[in-house]
Structure 1
């Protein structure tokens, strides 16, 4: 397994105190676990992936995600089994939607 770590400056999400899980670990898919961080100005991404050599793609996808959503104060643990960039973006967006539903629901 290849472990990647990325940190981004991010707009803070408000009142995120719960953990969220989204997706499943399986061929061509991934699981996202989201938990709160103490630093609300940063987002942290830890990726366990079965694929090597795509660090620059991961960084680009995660930077785009961090730019689109207020994810400051969140840590994302991603367990990947060869998901495409589109699936990565989808799962991350789903995790944020679940978190926002719990915050406002």
Structure 2
């Protein structure tokens, strides 16, 4: 909670942003709740964002390779295009997806 410590020292949000290497917008977004509710107002509320939309059956179990789990054999004659099509069909992606070039692939 470095931002809280800086705010308590009466350091302006613009300077807090510079010191913490964050955007000025972020520092100002932190400053108002801190001013209104103190450090508790800035406490983490857990992960943000949308929930995972993959069903448990599509998630990779610990210790299993995602390649073998879904019928993909890494670097055994499958082109990146084939892998992209397979992943697109598995996860319901209708738009083009790009995968990074993998080590050892031709």
Q: Return the TM-score normalized by structure 2.
A: 0.26
Larger proportion of strand: 1
* Greater relative contact order (Cα < 8 A, sep 6+): 1
Whose Rg is larger? Answer: 2
